[in-house]
Amino acid sequence: MAQPDVSQTQLYEWLTGDDDSRMCDDIPDDACQEQPHNFFLHLFASLGNKLADELSSARLVLPWLLGIIGAPVWMVGLLVPIREAGALLPQLFVAGFIRLKPQRKWVWVAGAVLQAMAAIALALLALMGSGAIGSLVLAALVMLSLARGLSSIATKDVLGKTIAKRRRGTLMGWSGSVAGGSTLVAGGVLMWFGDRPGNLALAILLGVAAAGWLLNALCAARIKEVPGAVEGGENAWDSIKLGLSLLREDRTFLHFNVARALLLSSALALPYLALLGQQQSGTELGGLGILVVVSGLAAMVASPIWGKRADQSSRRVMRDAAVGTVLCCLLGAALAWLPGDWTQSVLPYAAIYALLVIVHHGVRLGRKTYLVDIASQDNRALYVALSNTLTGVLMLVVGGIIGALAQWLGSAMLLVVLALTAAGAVFSAQRLPEAE
């Protein structure tokens, strides 16, 4: 097998803090030799994926698309649940299918290509510009979301086969930093388009999103993945039964999913904190662009630090991020209740939003690293699929409850409720055993 490029290996060792790139804990020797090469392919694949996610955001870009084409308001409320839950719910049903593939990267490639096709469809719908095609926008989003779920489970499985333990958190940290830079680009583009981007501008954004997923697919295809075992593949029903038995038998896995459910508070708090800021600046794109930019800056700063810490103890990262969520939610609520002209601006909310983004990256990196590390090569795909499916169900249920509470209590008081939920996550994560 060809030896990796010396300069590439040196850069890899600098990024990871390794003195010897050949040190591997739980991947085959052949995969270990290719680890520097694969590290950078994972990194650039993440860049394409994150840029595409930002430019097709169900919280930002697609609502404008529905608004411009005159679609009914109730459709806007379906965007985020479809985007998030649609990517998570089906994963348990495809875990067995992926298990039958000796090289799982091709499932990842297929998912990325399907997402690119969905983004192209959305771009064409933007050009059509008619309220009658609102339902087609939702249909394209369903396709995009399901393809995202396919890529998600395959990505984590390939990560576990190609990058050694105690390097995965570092990789995801640098990926988050690179992706944060792409978010800055996305925010700058949105601000450059002005307050009311037209159909052509949205079509261009969605076209660039499609290009991002094609970059993701190209990088995934070039990853050198050693063929793995294919025994134990299950159909959907068998996967469900096996998944439920895992929850009964593996107490650590069950406990992890409880902590992960409570940690949803960081994700659920972000749009409501942004909403408080938007109430001060109106609905102009400039205020939203500021939030996108601070989100990118926060990701660039936070992700490498969280990633390094996750390789030491992903459990402590989850716990500390939960503490940060409590503080950010309480700060946001307090800011909404404080008097004074200085609170009548989007900027203080943007500052707290940036802090919460930093915390949320800790939540994501901690739970991703923990989940990959507690699983083995034989059951990693099933563990990821089951955990994501459970989270998808909870997101639909909890998202509806949170929406009703926000309507009743208001955004500020809802942040207090989410702070209490995050406090539960602190204690839950603290009781988890170490995975590293």
Assign 143 to helix, strand or coil: helix
The candidate with the shortest Cα–Cα distance to 151, out of 386, 394, 381, is 381
Find the helix packing angle between 380-409 and 236-249, rounded to 10°.
80
The CA-CA-CA angle for residues 311, 365, 160, to 5°, reads 65
pLDDT for res 419: 93
**Cα Rg for the chain, rounded, in angstroms?**
21
Q: How many helices (H) and strands (E) does the chain have?
A: 18, 0
pLDDT profile of the chain (436 residues), mean per 10: 54 56 56 71 85 78 71 65 74 65 80 95 84 80 88 78 70 70 70 61 85 93 71 58 73 86 84 72 58 74 77 87 94 82 73 88 86 75 77 77 74 88 91 80
Q: How far apart are CA 28 and CA 377, in angstroms?
A: 11
Q: Are 40 and 8 in contact (CB under 8 A)?
A: yes
Q: Is 250 helix (H, G, I), strand (E, B) or coil?
A: coil
Question: Given this model, what pLDDT does residue 160 score?
Answer: 72
CB atoms inside a 10 Å sphere around CB 230: 11
Amino acid 267: pLDDT: 80
pTM, to two decimals? 0.68
Question: What are the backbone angles phi and psi of residue 308, rounded to the nearest 5°?
Answer: -60, -45
Q: What is the dihedral of CA 250, 251, 254, 259, to 10 degrees?
A: -140
Q: Within its chain, how far is the Cα of 141 from the centroid?
A: 16
Instruction: Put residue 239 in one of left, alpha, beta given phi > 0 → left and psi -120 to 50 → alpha.
Output: alpha
